[in-house]
């Protein structure tokens, strides 16, 4: 018996990185998994991997910042699986820029994916979960939602927003008696395509990676599974007394 057996789990941004590892672990722990992403080919490949391993999964093409996409996605999930129990609002983008170098278009692009996407994902998940009076929603914030970085103005703002929006939604759901929990996760640097792309922007990628490693007292970067294990804990009934909480998984980054 898996830790989330019989549950239906949606993971946004699950074609790659942390989202993909999370979808795989949720499937291994018995959930039927919905992989939602902009990238159709990679998303379908992730579904095929889960199916080949004996799990059940479907792909939904979705831009998390587009409300119409959410309406279609939820309808497709209910048509296929009949319910939604777990939603992981994981899709996000990293943008490097200070308050001076970030222009308004880049600022809005980051907020439209990282913040609007989490808002819409939570809103539509609550609507789908409410009739069954159960659910767990996990929103990907970051250590960058807890501490500032001079070169991550828009990203800091989006992830700080996710942190407090999660608490607002958690309180609303708790006080409404929905039995829907909403928590945030705060990873340190994890070696995914997002961070690999970030270090590619610099002249010496290995030097950039070493600089990131030095920020983590444990002496290495995280792996996608390090975050997936935390997400599965929050998704499962093991965390049934947790809502509005922040789960920090950062190799000691924010302990300093």
- 19 binds ligand NAD per the rule CB under 6 A: yes
- Which of 95, 124, 155, 198 is catalytic? The answer is 155
Answer yes or no whether residue 169 interacts with ligand NAD by CB under 6 A: no
Stretch that binds ligand NAD, among 50-58, 71-79, 89-97, 174-182 (CB under 6 A): 89-97
Does 187 bind ligand NAD (CB under 6 A)? Our answer is yes
Near ligand NAD by CB under 6 A: residue from 8, 11, 13, 73: 13
Residue with tokens 């700080």: 160
Cα–Cα dist 240/169, whole Å: 16
- How far, in Å, CA of 157 to CA of 107, rounded? 9
x/- map, 25-64, ligand NAD, by CB under 6 A: ------------xxx----------------------xxx
Mention every residue, 6+ apart, whose C-beta is less than 8 A from residue 223: 21, 190, 191
Chosen residue from 91, 146, 228, 232 binding ligand NAD by CB under 6 A: 91
Whole-angstrom CA distances from 147 to 42, 94, 152, 233 are 32, 15, 10, 24
Residue 147 C-beta: closest distance to ligand NAD, Å:
12
Pairing of strands 86-89, 135-140: parallel
């Amino acid at each position: 018996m898996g830790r989330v057996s019989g549950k239906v789990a949606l993971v946004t941004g699950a074609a790659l990185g942390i989202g993909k590892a999370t979808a795989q672990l949720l499937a291994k722990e018995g959930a039927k998994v919905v992989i939602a992403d902009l990238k159709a080919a990679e998303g379908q490949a992730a579904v095929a991997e889960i199916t080949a391993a004996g799990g059940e999964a479907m792909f939904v093409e979705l831009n998390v910042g587009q409300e119409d996409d959410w309406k279609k996605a939820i309808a497709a999930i209910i048509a296929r699986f009949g319910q939604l129990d777990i939603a992981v609002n994981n899709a996000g983008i990293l943008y490097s820029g200070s308050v001076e170098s970030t222009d308004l278009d880049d600022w809005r692009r980051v907020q439209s994916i990282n913040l609007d996407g989490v808002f819409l994902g939570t809103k539509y998940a609550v609507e789908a979960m409410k009739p069954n009076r159960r659910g767990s929603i996990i929103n990907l914030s970051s250590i960058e939602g807890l501490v500032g970085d001079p070169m991550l103005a828009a990203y800091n703002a989006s992830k700080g927003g996710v942190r407090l929006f999660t608490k607002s939604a958690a309180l609303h759901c708790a006080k409404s008696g929905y039995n829907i929990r909403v928590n945030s996760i705060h990873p340190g640097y994890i070696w995914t395509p997002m961070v690999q792309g970030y270090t590619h922007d610099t002249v010496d990628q290995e030097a950039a990676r070493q600089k990131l490693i030095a920020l983590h007292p444990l002496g290495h970067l995280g792996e996608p599974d390090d975050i997936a294990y935390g997400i599965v804990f929050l998704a499962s009934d093991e965390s049934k007394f947790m809502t509005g909480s922040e789960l920090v998984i950062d190799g000691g980054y924010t302990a300093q």
